[in-house]
Amino acid sequence: MPLSTTPSLDTPSPPQSSDVVSRKARFWDRIARKYAADPIADMPGYEATLRRVQGLLTAEMNVLEIGCGTGSTALRLAPFTRRLLATDVSAGMIGIAREKLAAELLPQLAFALADADAPAAGPGAYHAVLAFNLLHLVSDLDGALASAVQALRPGGLLISKTACVAEMNPLIRWLAIPVMQAIGKAPHVLLFDADTLQAAMVRQGLVIEAVERHGTKGKDIRVFIVARKPG
Ligand SMILES: C[S@@+](CC[C@H](N)C(=O)[O-])C[C@H]1O[C@@H](n2cnc3c(N)ncnc32)[C@H](O)[C@@H]1O
């Protein structure tokens, strides 16, 4: 998966065309500074997710986060891991994440540029793959899940929290989002509900262990799923 890395906390992956990657990254590069500055909309829900994930991690684990954004979650979770490699397709996001990391003493954490849609190479190296607010944004859900599963050791966990856009109010789904996309204010999104997402994980051989919602503000379209690679 990684396209270019800092310290080698990762397994290498085949290179992807830089054109394809830079097209995907353009939207996120453009909004990276704003994304970093915006407050988290549901802080109690976010903290609940962090506590839940911390409970699944151990200090022996090698962990990969895909679509890490500006690294806030990786910075919080790295102390609970042996090593955490956090990746994102956007150089703008990774640049900010590295700025934040420079102010911390977290030798177990590294950030790298990588496309979650690209196939993972090599034998599964990770005890856990984390994907927060990502899976509705990839180009190909089955491909990205296959890549995540490939990166996992047998018995490893995929831990995802992501928006199920198909569960949104139809006016937002069919009107507001397309208008925002047309004016460059929203990215391409995949439309799935929680059942469809779980079915896609099961297709990749994962066993679903938990399906939860951690939101504290009305209807929560972001489903939290823990799924295990058998073995
Ligand atoms: C909504 S942000 C979420 C960031 C972070 N995980 C969080 O929860 O705050 C989505 C992130 O996914 C990244 N992204 C989108 N498509 C990607 C892909 N194909 N591979 C890797 N990262 C991707 C974007 O650059 C962006 O940083």
Nearest to 36 by CA among 117, 90, 105, 78: 90
pLDDT, averaged in runs of 10, over the chain (231 residues): 41 54 88 96 97 98 98 98 98 98 97 94 90 97 97 98 96 93 93 98 98 96 98 92
Place of tokens 């607010």: 133
Give me the torsion for CA of 179, 183, 185, 191, rounded to 10°. Answer: 40
Q: Residue 60: what pLDDT?
A: 98
Q: Residue 159: what pLDDT?
A: 98
Kindly give the distance from the C-alpha atom of residue 201 to the centroid of ligand 1, in angstroms, as a whole number. 19
Q: Where are the domains of the chain?
A: 17-229
Class of domain 17-229: alpha beta
State how far the Cα of 218 lies from the Cα of 223, in Å rounded to an integer: 14
Q: Residue 17: what pLDDT?
A: 64
Longest dimension (CA), the chain: 47
Q: Which residues contact 166 (CB under 8 A, 6 or more apart)?
A: 173, 191, 192, 193, 196
Instruction: Decide if 146 contacts 172 (C-beta within 8 A).
Output: no
Kindly give the distance from the C-alpha atom of residue 138 to the centroid of ligand 1, in angstroms, as a whole number. 8
Atom 4 of ligand 1, nearest CA residue: 69
